[in-house]
Structure 1
Amino acid sequence: MVGELLHEIMRVIDLPAFDFEHDPTARRLSTFIADGIYDGFVAFDGEQAVGFATVYQSHSLYGNGAYGTIPELYVRPEHRSRGIGNQLLTTLIANARERGWSMLEVTTPPLPGFDRTLAFYERSGFAITGGRKLKIQLQPMVGG
């Protein structure tokens, strides 16, 4: 589903913003979870995985120390508007409270293509607090 998420973003923004390969990404996820630096949650409809969300601990002075960052939250298109995203977000918030984090932070994909994503987070209590997320690639992306 990570690949589905990244390909959907790239299709909507019409830019090759991500280099995704399944196997290296799956290995990276397994390592992150085993090392305790990443939590992942999967939503199922029966036995079919229909959505997922991930979170990791960040630190900042403005965040009063430790807080959570949500790098990925995705629900397959045919399962959207059924409360699955809300269930995943509720799970992330509960996880954050258990960890004693001061807040959760998320960055939406670029607008206006993802206005519905922004509205989803705002309905869930998130507020816009700053500008755009920027990045600089320091090493070539190889394998995901």
Structure 2
Amino acid sequence: MSIEIKQATPEQSPEIAEMVGQLLEEIMNNIGVKAFNFDWNQTRDRLRQFLLDQKYFVFVAEDAGEPVGFIALYEGYALYAEGAFGTIPELYVRPEYRSKGVGKKLTDKAKEFAATKGWTRLEVTTPPLPQFERTLEFYEKEGFSITGGRKLKVNL
């Protein structure tokens, strides 16, 4: 296994959209709640446009040219963060590639990219606990720390 991390191109939107669907399905299956509406075509098209507009940055882990995981980032701004910072809305590694260093390579690439953008920090929200305790442990092992609070939303 020789994993390469590459910045995604708009042409890779179909493969990444497929992995987004797998990520959301896994979360919903584990928590027993239909928390997301997923439409592959809409996700593919939205991702393609985000990448073209450079509003969203995605890095893909490939094994022999086949996508096996990805990490997405976007820029935000906040006074508490002392300026521009990055958020990781999605990180996914196919199950057969987990615990093999792929997630670490993806987060390392995200940190490297964040530094080139001059971001003050990276933030991430884990899926619900306790179902995703391993995910929290992974992020803590990669240097992320709990800052408190919970992620809340309101649909508009």
* TM-score normalised to structure 1 length: 0.94
Which amino acid letter does the alignment assign opposite residue 82 of structure 2?
N
* TM-score normalised to structure 2 length: 0.87
Alignment of 1:25-64 (within 5 A): 25-64=43-82
User: Which structure ranks higher in relative contact order (CA pairs < 8 Å, sequence separation ≥ 6)?
Assistant: 1
Which amino acid letter does the alignment assign opposite residue 152 of structure 2?
L
SS at match of 1:41: strand
SS at match of 1:110: coil
Other-structure match for 1:98: 116
Backbone CA RMSD of aligned residues:
0.6
Other-structure match for 1:6: 24
Displacement over 6 Å in runs of 4+: none
Query: 2:97 & 2:143 partners in 1: Cα distance?
Result: 22
Q: What percentage of aligned pairs have identical amino acids?
A: 55
Which amino acid letter does the alignment assign opposite residue 153 of structure 2?
K
Alignment of 1:1-144 (within 5 A): 1-138=19-156
The structure carrying a bigger helix percent of its residues is 2
List runs of 5+ in structure 2 lacking aligned partners: 1-18
List runs of 5+ in structure 1 lacking aligned partners: 139-144
Report the Cα offset of residue 131 of structure 1.
1.1
Query: 2:66 & 2:131 partners in 1: Cα distance?
Result: 28
Report the Cα offset of residue 126 of structure 1.
0.3
Which amino acid letter does the alignment assign opposite residue 78 of structure 1?
E
